[in-house]
């Protein structure tokens, strides 16, 4: 495939599980500093798409290029090191560690065995943790065990862990699931702030929330793209209303 200016260029991507094509010949481009929302009914292949990008699932055919670097052949940790961060649908944090430790583990220094044995907690690390904790509104809870956080705070913590990695592409799977209205607003603010210098892909069902954050919306249906464009344009699309929004 040819090189492009896009941060993420997915071309002709297919994954088939025993003949069932969860993602079917999909082509998708994400621009620099863009916040893209992917919506679609259950089983449309949204989460599978993120799994494919971050290497959790291997594609059957097609290409995924991140800054013109082919990702399909890389292992998960190599994809992360290339600059792709992924938040899972259910908050995936280390419950038995403190908020501080959760963030520090995600700091991208000392990632090898020896590196981690001789890792030193420098001022730089502490500053960075404090900085991120402030962004995710957890600056007063650094020494608290992560298991004791509320559901919404756990979601933020996971976003914070991704921010520690300074990814150029951030993928969030249903970041506001289980959050209160106030927490949703705060999360929308947070996302709008953090996409200033990176590209973000968000999967979300909450249309109100999508309207607040989306630059561009992609609608998936049965592993294929049904529509793509601004939120208003997509909402008027008859096919989209039929399979998804109409329900």
Partner 1 sequence: MNTLFNRLIGGHKGAVGLAMLAAIIFIALPLGLDVFRLGLAGKYITYAFIAVSLVLLWGNGGILSLGQGIFFGLGGYCMAMFLKLEASDPISTKIQTTPGIPDFMDWNQITSLPWFWEPFKSLPLTILAILIVPTLFAYIIGFAMFKRRVGGVYFAIITQAIALILSILIVGQQGYTGGVNGITDLKTILGWDIREDSAKYILYYVNGLMLFGCIFISRFILSSKFGMLLLAMRDKEERVRFSGYDVSNFKIFIFCVAAMFSSIGGAMFALQVGFMSPSFIGIVPSIEMVIFAAVGGRMSQIGAVYGTLLVNYGKTIFSETYPELWLFLMGGLFISVVMFFPNGLAGLYEKHASKLGFIKRYIDIAKARRSAATNDVKSTKHIQEKGAKA
Interacting residues toward partner 1 by CB under 8 A: 54, 56, 75-77, 80-81, 85-86, 88, 92-97, 101, 104-106, 108, 110-113, 116-119, 161, 165
Comparing CB distances to partner 1, the nearer of 37 and 93 is 93
Dig out the tokens for 68 from the structure.
């013109």
Find, among 72, 35, 30, 48, the residue nearest to 222 by Cα. 48
Q: What count of other Cβ atoms lies within 10 Å of the Cβ of residue 193?
A: 9
Least spacing, CB of residue 115 vs partner 1, in Å: 8
Comparing CB distances to partner 1, the nearer of 77 and 151 is 77
Least spacing, CB of residue 194 vs partner 1, in Å: 17
Exposure on the CB side of residue 163, measured as CA atoms within 13 A: 23
* H-assigned helices in 165-206: 181-194
Dig out the tokens for 39 from the structure.
């919506």
Comparing CB distances to partner 1, the nearer of 102 and 237 is 102
Least spacing, CB of residue 98 vs partner 1, in Å: 10
Residue with tokens 């998708």, as numbered in its chain: 28
**Cross-strand bridge partners of residue 16:** 21
Comparing CB distances to partner 1, the nearer of 129 and 210 is 129
Least spacing, CB of residue 224 vs partner 1, in Å: 27
Least spacing, CB of residue 199 vs partner 1, in Å: 17
Contact 213, 35 (CB under 8 A): yes
Dig out the tokens for 120 from the structure.
């030193």
Comparing CB distances to partner 1, the nearer of 33 and 92 is 92
Rounded CA-CA distance 235/247 in Å is 13
């Amino acid at each position: 495939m040819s090189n492009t200016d896009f941060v993420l260029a997915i071309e002709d991507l297919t994954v088939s599980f025993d003949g069932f094509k969860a993602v079917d010949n999909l082509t998708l481009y994400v621009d620099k500093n863009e916040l893209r929302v992917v919506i679609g009914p259950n089983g449309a292949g949204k989460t599978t798409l993120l799994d494919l990008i971050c290497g959790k699932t291997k594609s059957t055919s097609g290409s995924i290029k991140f800054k013109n670097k082919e990702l399909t052949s890389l292992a998960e940790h190599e994809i992360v090191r290339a600059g792709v961060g992924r938040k899972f649908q259910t908050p995936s944090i280390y419950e038995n560690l403190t908020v501080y430790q959760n963030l520090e583990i995600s700091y991208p220094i000392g990632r090898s065995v020896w590196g981690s044995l001789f890792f030193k907690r420098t001022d730089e690390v502490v500053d960075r943790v404090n900085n991120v904790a402030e962004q995710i509104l957890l600056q007063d809870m650094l020494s608290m065990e992560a298991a004791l956080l509320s559901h919404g705070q756990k979601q933020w913590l996971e976003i914070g862990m991704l921010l520690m990695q300074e990814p150029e592409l951030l993928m969030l799977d249903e970041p506001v699931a289980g959050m209160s209205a106030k927490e949703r607003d705060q999360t929308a603010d947070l996302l709008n702030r953090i996409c200033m210098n990176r590209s973000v892909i968000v999967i979300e069902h909450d249309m109100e929330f999508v309207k607040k954050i989306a630059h561009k919306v992609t609608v998936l249906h049965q592993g294929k793209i049904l529509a793509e464009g601004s939120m208003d344009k997509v909402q008027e699309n008859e096919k989209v209303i039929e399979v998804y929004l109409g329900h």
